Amino acid sequence: MTDVLDTPPPELWLARHGETEWTVSRQHTGSTDIPLTERGREQARELLPSFEGIDFDLVLSSPASRAVETAELAGFEPEIDQRLREWDYGDYEGLTTVEIQRDRPEWFLFRDGCPNGEDPTGIGQRLEPLLDELRGMSGKRIAMFGHAHCFRALAGCWLGLGAESGRALTLGTASLSVIGVEHGRPAIAHWNAVPLVKSPTPASTLDATRRS
């Protein structure tokens, strides 16, 4: 006997933008609007096969041009959501971790945050209202185009572990990840992967049935 749950969970697809000059140099890129490189545009186009044949109920993007262009080259016309902007690095904008640690040897973003920018609590407070809205989109599939540190914090919040737990997750340029729910609990289905195994229905709908 199979019982169908009344409210199947949503499924979130997270696509990090393609390469920029600052991702190559490993500079912290928050509010600075650095465009994609030609390689970054090529990476964005390479996302197309992973999205083919899959329907999305909502497509969102960070306002940064590198995220919007990645979405467009992957075949979407996204809605802009300011809450998906990258971590605010404050005084550390444009610096590399090596440069920051010359003055603060023990500095770690997911613990210490940035002076005149965001810390893990702050970015969590920015992302939780968005996640609350998405949690209410029962049975929907949502694509989001954005940034590494923001998405790592977002995944940590989705899992109920807090933004700081994003320290354990890494994201490459133009990577694709999927988070959803399994057996009633938030879960990661794919992480930092291209291409993904495609399914005509959200993987999270597997949680919509239970056997007794």
CA 46 to chain centre: 18
176, 15 Cβ separation under 8 angstroms: yes
The answer to whether 60 and 145 are in contact (CB under 8 A) is: yes
Which of 4-35 are b and which e, b meaning 16 or more Cβ less than 10 Å from the residue's Cβ?
A: eeeebbbbbbbbbbbbbebbeeebbbbeeebe
Residues in CB range of 88: below 8 A, 6 or more apart: 30, 31, 114, 117, 118, 122, 123
The pair of structure tokens assigned to 7 is: 């409210």
Q: Could you give the CA distance from residue 18 to residue 47 in angstroms, rounded to a whole number?
A: 10
Catalytic hit among 11, 19, 69, 86: 86
Catalytic pick from 17, 147, 149, 190?
17
Q: In this structure, is the dihedral angle defined by the CA atoms of residues 104, 110, 112 and 114, taken in order, positive or negative?
A: positive
Return the structure tokens found at 62.
């960070």
Q: Does 17 participate in catalysis according to the annotation?
A: yes
Angstrom distances, CA of residue 24 to CA of 4, 37, 43, 96, 194: 47, 10, 14, 11, 19
- Residues noted as catalytic: 17, 86
